[in-house]
Amino acid sequence: MGTSLWKVTALRDNSKLKKGMSAEIFQANSVNKPSQRVICENLNSKYGTSISEGSCGLTNFDIIKLS
């Protein structure tokens, strides 16, 4: 397994998720895209919000692998 760095950016508003919200997510021991739960946790931590996992569906984001 490798490690990966992802940038996720919201493409549309969805409840408390606002278009343009973004986060960089580092994943150790994984080369897969970040899960809804991981995206949600990172956005809530960065923005101090309480976005639900249901609002963090992968289709709501542009997900780019940085490394």
Chain segment 11-64, per-residue pLDDT in tens: 999 999 999 999 999 999 888 999 999 999 999 999 999 999 999 999 999 999
| CA distance between the termini of the chain | 14
pLDDT above 90: residue 6: yes
- Tell me if 55 sits within 8 A of 16, measured CB to CB: yes
Q: What is the pLDDT of residue 53?
A: 93
Query: CA torsion, points 49, 53, 54, 59, in degrees to nearest 10?
Result: 100
Q: What is the pLDDT of residue 60?
A: 95
Q: What is the pLDDT of residue 2?
A: 83
Under DSSP, the state recorded for 9 is E
pLDDT above 80: residue 1: no
